[in-house]
Structure formats: C-alpha cells, structure tokens
A and B are shown apart, each in its own frame.
Chain A
Amino acid sequence: EVQLVESGGGLVQPGGSLRLSCAGSTFTFSSYWMSWVRQAPGKGLEWVANIKRDGSEKYYVDSVKGRFTISRDNTKNSLYLQMNSLRAEDTAMYYCVTTGGYWGQGTLVTVSS
C-alpha cells in the first residue's frame, strides 16, 4: 500500500520557521512530481508548491515566494518544505501529494503568538 507520511507541523510564533517532511513508501518516489497543498481551517484547498521528479524545476504560489522552499531527496523517498517568516495566514493543514494520485494525511501548522 502506498504511504505518504507528513511530519514537522506544530505551533510557531509569527516570523518563525518550520520544516515539513513527507516520507513516501511502496512506490517509485522519483517517478512523480510532488506537491505541497494546504487547507486553512474551514477553507478550500490551496496549491502551495511543486517540484519536478529530479528537483530541477520548482514552482510556488505567489503568497509564499521568497519565504518557502520545496526540496526533495529521492535517495530517501522524501519531500520537504522549509517555511520561513511564517504568518498567521499560513495556518493550515499541509498535505503532500503525488501526481500518481496519492495524498498524505497532513500535518497541522499553526502560526500564533
């Protein structure tokens, strides 16, 4: 069974940083583009960033450009999201997603003083 397991979420003060991780198993991780998608409480889905199979291309939603960095390590079947200068509006459940159709269960990020 394909698994994606996110970790690294938590409570952080405005202006702080967090690094999210997503570990994939039982599928060929390096074959897929990977994305981070977030969902604020009671709101819809928002695409945050994605990364090409080999990491050579990365794209971001305008609201996180310059603050968030997506990366991957195919040798570890892992996806990352470094989040700096966090704001209250970044509060959300963060999901990692593959173009193969699989979603993780999410990790909650709360930005509050």
Chain B
Amino acid sequence: QAVVTQEPSLTVSPGGTVTLTCGSSTGAVTSGHYPYWFQQKPGQAPTTLIYDTSNKYSWTPARFSGSLLGGKAALTLSGAQPEDEAEYYCLLSYSGVGEVFGGGTKLTVL
C-alpha cells in the first residue's frame, strides 16, 4: 500500500502562520484522494478538521484551512493559538484499495 508522508514536527509562534503538508508515494495528491485532516491532543480521541481537501465542519476553527499545494495536500493554520498545539494527521483515499494515514506532524506553538 501507498506511503503517506508528513513533516515529523513543526514549530509556530503564537499568532503566526504554519503550513503542514501531506504527500503520497504514488505521485501528486489530487482532489481524488479526498484528503482529510485530523487533530489529536494527548490522551484524547482525534477530531476531524477538514474533509475533501478544503471543506470544514461546523466545529472547525476558521483559522484552519485546507488546500492542494505543490502536489501535496496542505493544512494551513493562520493565527496560531496555544490550544492548537497537537498532533495532526492527514488521510488519503486510494480508489479501490483503501485509505492511508500519514505518520503525523507534532505541532508546537512556542
């Protein structure tokens, strides 16, 4: 099965902007991979932030946005808050095969 890659760790200053990316070993990530983004804080179940590349749920803070960037899926956080410190995972769908999570990005707000 495919391998999905994410930055292991990133740091952002409070109020700053950071972009997390999600790549695929099979080539460019497209809307056909229906990228999802999830946030997980220590000791908690994950929550879903973004679906189908860029769509938000009612509970997704406005400072999070999803896109395709340079052949990868991207999650941009604009105006980082201390409570955004967490692990972030992307998920890609491979038609007729299944889905694969990335290894996760540990985001530090410092």
Contact = CB atoms under 8 A, between A and B. Distances in A.
Nearest to B50: A101
B98 A46 contact: no
Contacts, number: 49
Interface string B56-76: 010000000000000000000
Nearest to A93: B45
A44 B99 contact: no
A4 B49 CA distance: 18
Contacts of A61: 1, 98
A103 B48 contact: yes
Contacts of B102: 44
Interface residues of B, number: 21
Interface of B: 1, 38, 40, 45-48, 51, 57, 87, 89, 91, 96-104
24 contacts: A35-B99, A44-B89, A44-B101, A44-B104, A45-B38, A45-B46, A45-B91, A45-B101, A46-B101, A47-B91, A47-B99, A47-B100, A47-B101, A50-B99, A61-B1, A95-B46, A97-B48, A99-B51, A101-B47, A102-B48, A103-B47, A103-B48, A104-B45, A106-B45
Interface of A: 35, 37, 44-47, 49-50, 59-62, 95, 97, 99, 101-106
